[in-house]
């Protein structure tokens, strides 16, 4: 290898691999500025002095045979980029046209709204009139005659559908559809279409349809959004079409793609993550830069600034990207690089995307980009903040008072780029000196970085002058040359350096060489490195200098260089250029000491600052803070329970065959189907890519859950997927759910489901309407939480996993201990199974629609829900969950309220003739268990006094609300205290936050909730106007065994008067300030029913005399002033006496209540 070849090998290294320091880039002509081949040479005009640097910055090297090797591929790439850009612009124009159409449609909608409001008013008037009354009577008669679930009801439903089709589409369409139904009934179940035919017939609509879910495509619910952003990918394949990606998604956000330290480190991280099968990486650059193409080769890359230039608001970009990444990634992290992207931190936090912040800046830079507000945004959004040096960590703690436990120092890594070139150092020294016009025996002091104030380029020039001024003739330092690599940060920087060069000696020895793609040859040719930065967190060029075997001279208190250097260089006081000049001079004149320092530094970098070490520490952070778990081999057993689903069986089995993550085995269980299900299964078994076992029952065992247990006994995999025979799925269901089990604590994973009908019609695109009642946000994002948390927030309330086909779970060892209990259930066994399976483990959720749940008349749940089996089994499961998990008392109260509401709703919905909730014999057993559980909880906490219900007229910022809350909190240590808001729409969260945890919200909430039903129509004869709610409140009071009621205002009295019609409990009311009481008649009416009236000593004597008649209630004077403790003492004594004496006084009847109303 000759000298030219050696230098070419050094200069040809990847720029990001060498980390050439801030500002290093190709020169204006696009040719690598570090090229030192014969075609360029010294005469090419590389700057020899400060005065020539402005002219050399933009030079383009001359032609030559080497130019042909890089120009043609570049031209082809530019042409391809132009074509793609044109296509992108066309799509952008189409999008803008669609947005304009959307605005037009919104305007049209706004013009139609007044007419719609008028129609609503007309309908309301009709419903309130005689016509509405007659219509309701007719509907009631129809429900009694044509009962749902019976033959007459089904006939009525079919006739109604026929009539609706007849009116809407005409007789021909109606008769055609009816004939088709009749023919289908006569023919019986038919085998499913061949999959090729299904694909040909598929209609690509936005909704999720079975036909549109093909093996080779991602359904719209997954494709739309994140992948539709204008990603640019120059690697193999294209974004979204590179095959299954890693299970852990990483979105990297950088302020730009410049050839500086932070982006270079980030690029190396993206490349290494991309090489791991566990990770799928995406990059967002707030602004482009020289490394944009390198990022695009490593991972799909998005230029947010360019995207904003296509008609989008730049301020909306962080929120748009964060929202779409949340919808796309079931598990992953957003890595926000540098404090300059704090807007992205805030956007990810709002979307609940886990954020790992990588802060490279020190105090001056942080102050320039927002200071305390920026740091607050970063730390509010991030689980962990990594910094490149302890200097950055200490600065953040000292200046911004951040939590030290949230910070982690993670030093950069560096490839040993000079490892194979060290033997050629003499040749490189000669070649670089010849290129720059430096004598061959002259020492070189090297500097590198963007030539700006922060990097201290002016200090480097001063250093050059002082070293040459102080060196004596004959010393090696007197012959030194000072070379700076890197572009200028501002246009006037070279002018100032040229100006300084005219007013002092030695400046002719300063060479501003400009940027270079690769700096390895220059570092090997130098003798010493001078780090003149005023502020540099952990300068990459310092690591490169040490790895090249150079001793380094740096300032103290300017960043993280001193903590890395240690014995590999010399540190002088901050900005003491004279001291630095002395240190440089001493090292230049002592080659042995300088060489020893260089060797120590080189050993330090190659041993401790490797990328392998960096990736080990980085991956450990992902494990501990971001729920990343390495992939592990897991076998999935698929159990397919079937009963007379031959019509859907082929599609179901082929959906399992076509899973992108192949299962371990398929176990087909037929429960004595009368159709040809078994024949279909046997025919397809030969096509199965995995072993398929067919087990047929001779007689139907009558239970789906017996089949589940049978399948579990036969399964041999690590995980189990119960794929119901009539449902369907996306081919990536297992691929997306199984990675959740790489966490050994996860015992169950499930995805979002859509609902389809018997003929594949889409009934609902997801179950979000079902879960929105618990939380409108939780099921729109992925999560992985402990079983206790899932029981508290979800499973104790409703079965938030409504379809078993959406679930994969870890196979239990042996027969579950609750199997016998499960096998007796018809409806809620799956709910019980999930709750028991989660004990001691975690649950993970994927928000993408990967499962299609089929609902049709044959569905088992459709029949059972209308009977008392539903209430018995759901109450039993709730009781089991309460006994198994440490639920809060509020979660238990909310679950009971939901049970009462569900019971009342189904009773009215299906016109069922049955007792009230607490009187239903099928509900008595579970309710007794729940009451006993609550009693034990209260007794264990010392609350043995009477159960008191405090009813407040509102929870706004009023004195009444505060008084009621203070009393409730004071009573709670000794009593079972319940709180109810008579007007839940009058609710202030700040006021409600004052309620102690021991005070039970009777309805599960004090604001508007599931028991806040529609109000009564005028003239209904109730005082509160909430008869439906009062009915539910009575049931809840019976469920919680309330002993006494205490109301605080006339609004509360109205509600209590309605509730107490059917209850025989002592009731106390509160007199309050009667002079301002506009509802005194209600107080008088309450006095005829209440057991006692609390009043202050300053109450109006006339009013108290009027209420204290022999037949009236007992008046109880409260202490004045009344602190909460003394008030609780008086009230507690009154409650105890009333409970011992019994209700005692008869209450007014409903008819009398109506007269008062």
Task: Check residue 154 and give its pLDDT.
Answer: 66
Q: Give the pLDDT of residue 310.
A: 67
Average pLDDT, rounded, for the chain: 81
Instruction: Tell me which CATH code domain 422-625 carries.
Output: 3.40.50.2000
CA quadruple 606, 612, 614, 616: dihedral, nearest 10: -140
Average the pLDDT over each of 59-73, 242-256, 714-728, 935-949 and give the range with the smallest value.
59-73
Q: 283 and 301 in contact (C-beta within 8 Å)?
A: yes
Check pLDDT > 60 for residue 876.
yes
pLDDT at position 76 is: 62
Q: What is the pLDDT of residues 103-117, one digit of tens each?
A: 878 877 888 888 878
**Runs of H (alpha helix) within 188-300:** 195-201, 220-223, 261-274, 292-298
- Pick from 323, 313, 368: nearest CA to 350: 323
Which residues, including other chains, have CB under 8 Å from residue 1089's CB and lie 6 or more apart?
1057, 1060, 1067, 1145, 1147, 1148
Please give the full DSSP string across 420-467, using - where no structure is assigned. TTGGGHHHHHHHHHHHHT--TT--EEEEES-BSTTTTHHHHHHHHHHH
- Count CB-CB contacts under 10 A for residue 702: 10
Rounded to whole angstroms, the Cα distance separating 853 from 780 reads: 18
Is residue 454's pLDDT more than 80? yes
In angstroms, the CA 285 to CA 257 distance is: 7
Query: Which DSSP symbol is given to 566?
Result: G
Q: What gap in Å lies between CA 77 and CA 632, rounded to an integer? A: 40
**Top-confidence residue, 167 or 610:** 610
Label the pairing between strands 762-764 and 746-756. Answer: antiparallel
**By CB neighbour count within 10 A (0-12 exposed, 13-18 middle, 19+ buried), where does 846 fall?**
buried
Burial class of residue 1051 in the structure, from the number of CB atoms within 10 Å of its CB (0-12 exposed, 13-18 middle, 19+ buried)? buried
330 versus 186: the higher-pLDDT residue is 330
Q: What is the CATH code of the structural domain delimited by 220-409?
A: 3.40.50.2000
Tens digit of pLDDT for each residue in 888-915? 999 999 999 999 998 888 888 888 888 8
- Provide the pLDDT for residue 120: 78
Which pLDDT value is given to residue 260? 82
Rounded distance, CA 744 to CA 430, Å? 59
For range 83-88, the mean pLDDT: 74
**pLDDT tens, 22-80?**
333 333 333 333 333 333 332 333 344 443 443 333 343 333 333 333 345 555 665 67
Check pLDDT > 50 for residue 181: yes
Of 476-490, 1017-1031, 1103-1117, the range with the lowest mean pLDDT is 1103-1117
Domain ranges of the chain: 220-409, 422-625, 636-855, 941-1156
pLDDT for the residue numbered 1069:
87
| Cβ-Cβ contacts under 8 Å for 105 (sequence gap 6 or more) | none
Per the rule left: phi > 0, alpha: psi between -120 and 50, beta: everything else, 808 is beta
Say if CB 1039 and CB 927 are below 8 A apart. Answer: yes
Question: Identical fold at 636-855 and 941-1156?
Answer: no
Query: Is the pLDDT higher at 1015 or at 1034?
Result: 1034
Find out whether 303 and 292 touch, Cβ atoms under 8 Å. Answer: yes
pLDDT tens column, 117-151: 888 788 778 777 787 778 777 777 766 777 655 56
pLDDT classification of 327: cutoffs 50, 70, 90:
confident
- In DSSP terms, 445 is beta-bridged to 482, 528
Per DSSP, the residues of 155-198 read HHHHHHHHHHHHHHH-HHHHHHHHHHHHHHHHH---PPPPHHHH
pLDDT above 70 for 690: yes
Please determine, for residue 187, whether its predicted confidence score (pLDDT) is greater than 70.
no
In this predicted structure, what is the pLDDT of residue 79?
66
Structure tokens at 1107: 């209420």
CB 56 within 8 A of CB 483: no
**Rounded Cα–Cα distance for residues 389 and 410 (Å):** 7
Could you give the maximum distance between any two Cα atoms of the chain, in Å? 122
* Least confident piece of the model among 148-157, 338-347, 408-417, 1051-1060: 148-157
Q: How many other C-beta atoms are found inside a 10 Å radius of the C-beta of residue 659?
A: 23
Is CATH 3.40.50.2000 the classification given to domain 941-1156? yes
More confident residue, 1085 or 481: 481
| Average pLDDT for 844-867 | 75
Mean pLDDT of 499-523: 78
CB 663 within 8 A of CB 650: no
**Mean pLDDT on 384-413:** 92
Rounded to an integer, what is the distance from CA 362 to the centroid of its chain? 30
Model pLDDT, residue 140: 72
Let me know if domain 636-855 sits in CATH 3.90.550.10: yes
Flag whether pLDDT at 1075 surpasses 90.
no
Q: What does the block give as tokens for 588?
A: 């230049």
pLDDT: which is higher, 339 or 160: 339
- The sign of the torsion formed by the CA atoms of 724, 725, 728, 734 equals positive
**Average pLDDT estimate for 676-685:** 94
Per-residue model confidence (pLDDT) at position 1019:
54
Q: Is pLDDT above 60 for 427?
A: yes
Averaging pLDDT over each range in 25-34, 142-151, 186-195, 832-841, which range is the top one? 832-841
């Amino acid at each position: 290898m000759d000298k030219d070849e050696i230098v070419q090998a050094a200069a040809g290294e990847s720029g990001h691999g060498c980390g050439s320091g801030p500002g290093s880039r190709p020169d204006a002509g696009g040719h690598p500025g570090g090229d030192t081949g014969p075609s360029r040479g010294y005469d090419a005009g590389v700057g020899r002095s400060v005065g020539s640097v402005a002219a050399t910055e933009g030079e383009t090297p001359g032609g030559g045979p080497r130019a042909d090797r890089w120009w043609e591929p570049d031209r082809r790439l530019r042409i391809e980029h132009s074509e793609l850009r044109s296509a992108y612009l066309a799509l952008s124009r189409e999008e803008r046209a669609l947005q304009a159409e959307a605005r037009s449609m919104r305007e049209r909608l706004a013009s139609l709204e007044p007419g719609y409001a008028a129609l609503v008013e007309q309908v309301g008037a009709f419903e309130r009139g005689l016509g509405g009354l007659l219509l309701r009577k007719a509907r009631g008669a129809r429900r009694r005659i044509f009962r749902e679930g019976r033959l007459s009801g089904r006939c009525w439903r079919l006739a109604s559908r026929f009539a609706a089709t007849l009116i809407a589409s005409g007789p021909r369409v109606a008769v055609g559809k009816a004939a088709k139904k009749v023919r289908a009934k006569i023919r019986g179940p038919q085998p499913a279409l061949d999959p090729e035919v299904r694909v040909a017939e598929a209609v690509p609509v936005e909704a999720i349809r079975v036909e549109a879910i093909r093996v080779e495509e991602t359904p719209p619910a997954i494709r739309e959004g994140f992948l539709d952003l204008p990603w640019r990918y120059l690697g193999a394949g294209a974004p979204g079409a590179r095959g299954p990606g890693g299970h852990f998604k990483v979105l990297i956000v950088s302020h730009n793609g410049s050839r500086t330290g932070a982006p270079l480190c980030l690029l190396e991280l993206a490349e290494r993550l991309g090489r791991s099968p566990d990770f799928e990486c995406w990059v967002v650059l707030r602004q482009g830069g020289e490394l944009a193409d390198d990022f695009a080769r490593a991972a799909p890359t998005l230029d947010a600034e360019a995207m904003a230039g296509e008609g989008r608001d730049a301020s909306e970009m962080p929120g748009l990207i964060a929202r779409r990444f949340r919808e796309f990634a079931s598990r992953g992290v957003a890595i926000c690089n540098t404090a300059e992207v704090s807007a992205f931190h805030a956007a990810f936090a709002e979307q609940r995307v886990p954020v790992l912040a990588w802060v490279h800046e020190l105090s001056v830079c942080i102050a320039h980009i927002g200071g305390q507000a920026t740091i607050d945004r970063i730390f509010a959004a991030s689980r962990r903040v990594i910094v490149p040096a302890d200097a950055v960590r200490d600065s953040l703690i000292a200046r911004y008072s951040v939590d030290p436990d949230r910070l982690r120092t993670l030093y950069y890594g560096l490839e040993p780029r000079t490892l194979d070139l060290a033997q050629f150092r003499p040749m490189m020294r000669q070649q670089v000196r010849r290129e720059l016009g430096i004598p061959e025996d002259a020492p070189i002091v090297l500097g590198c970085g963007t030539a700006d104030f922060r990097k201290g380029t002016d200090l480097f020039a001063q250093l050059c002058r002082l070293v040459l001024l102080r060196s004596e003739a004959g010393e090696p330092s007197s012959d030194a040359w000072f070379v700076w690599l890197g572009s200028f940060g501002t246009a006037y920087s070279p002018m100032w350096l040229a100006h300084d060069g005219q007013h002092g000696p030695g400046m002719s020895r300063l060479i501003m060489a400009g940027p270079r793609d690769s700096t390895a040859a220059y570092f090997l040719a130098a003798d010493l490195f001078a780090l003149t930065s005023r502020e540099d967190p952990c300068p990459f060029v310092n690591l490169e200098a040490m790895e090249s075997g150079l001793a380094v001279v740096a300032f103290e208190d300017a960043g993280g260089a001193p903590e890395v250097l240690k014995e590999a260089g010399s540190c002088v006081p901050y900005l003491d250029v004279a001291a630095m000049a002395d240190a440089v001079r001493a090292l230049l004149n002592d080659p042995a000491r300088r060489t020893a320092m260089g060797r120590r530094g080189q050993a330090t970098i190659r041993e401790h600052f490797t990328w392998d070490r960096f990736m080990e520490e980085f991956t450990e952070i992902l494990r501990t803070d971001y729920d990343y778990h390495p992939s592990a081999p897991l076998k999935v057993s698929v159990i397919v329970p079937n009963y007379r689903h031959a019509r859907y069986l082929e599609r179901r089995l082929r959906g399992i065959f076509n899973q992108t993550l192949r299962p371990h085995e398929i176990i087909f269980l037929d429960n004595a189907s009368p159709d040809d299900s078994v024949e279909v299964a046997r025919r397809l078994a030969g096509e199965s890519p995995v072993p398929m076992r067919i087990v047929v029952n001779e007689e139907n065992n009558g239970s789906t859950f017996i089949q589940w247990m049978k399948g579990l006994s036969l399964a041999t995999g690590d995980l189990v997927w119960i794929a119901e025979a009539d449902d369907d799925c996306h081919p990536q269901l297992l691929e997306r759910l199984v990675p959740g089990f790489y966490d050994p604590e996860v015992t169950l994973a499930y995805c979002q489901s859509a609902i389809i009908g018997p003929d594949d019609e889409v009934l609902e695109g997801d179950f979000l309407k079902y879960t929105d009642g618990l939380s409108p946000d939780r099921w729109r994002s992925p999560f992985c939480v402990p079983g206790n948390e899932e029981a508290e927030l979800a499973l104790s309330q409703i079965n938030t996993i409504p379809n078993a086909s959406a679930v994969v779970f870890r196979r239990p060892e042996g027969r579950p201990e609750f199997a016998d209990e499960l096998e007796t259930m018809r409806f809620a066994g799956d709910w019980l199974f999930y709750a028991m399976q989660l004990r001691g483990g975690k649950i993970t959720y994927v928000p993408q629609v990967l499962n299609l749940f089929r609902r049709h008349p044959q569905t088992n749940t459709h029949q059972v829900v209308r009977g008392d089996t539903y209430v018995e089994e759901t109450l039993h499961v709730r009781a089991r969950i309460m006994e198994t998990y440490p639920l809060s008392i509020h979660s238990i109260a909310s679950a009971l309220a939901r049970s009462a509401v569900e019971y009342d709703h189904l009773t009215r919905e299906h016109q069922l003739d049955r007792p009230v909730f607490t009187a239903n014999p099928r509900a008595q057993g579970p309710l007794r268990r729940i009451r006993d559980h609550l009693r034990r909880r209260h007794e264990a906490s010392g609350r043995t006094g009477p159960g008191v219900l405090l009813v407040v007229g509102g929870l706004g910022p009023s004195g009444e609300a505060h008084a009621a809350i203070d009393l409730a909190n004071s009573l709670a240590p000794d009593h079972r205290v319940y709180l109810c808001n008579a007007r839940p729409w009058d609710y202030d969260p700040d006021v409600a936050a004052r309620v102690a945890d021991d005070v039970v919200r009777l309805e599960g909430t004090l604001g508007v909730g599931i028991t806040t039903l529609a109000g009564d129509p005028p003239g209904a004869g109730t005082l509160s106007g909430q008869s439906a709610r009062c009915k539910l409140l009575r049931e809840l009071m019976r469920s919680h065994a309330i002993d006494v009621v205490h109301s605080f205002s006339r609004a509360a009295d109205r509600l209590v008067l309605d509730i107490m019609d059917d209850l025989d409990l002592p009731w106390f009311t509160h007199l309050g300030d009667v002079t301002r009481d506009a509802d005194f008649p209600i107080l008088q009416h309450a006095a005829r029913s209440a057991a006692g009236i609390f009043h202050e000593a300053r109450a109006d004597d006339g009013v108290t005399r009027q209420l204290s008649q022999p037949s009236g209630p007992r008046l109880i004077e409260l202490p004045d002033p009344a602190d909460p403790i003394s008030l609780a003492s008086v009230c507690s004594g009154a409650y105890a006496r009333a409970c011992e004496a019994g209700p005692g006084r008869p209450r007014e009847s409903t008819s009398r209540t109506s007269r008062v109303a």
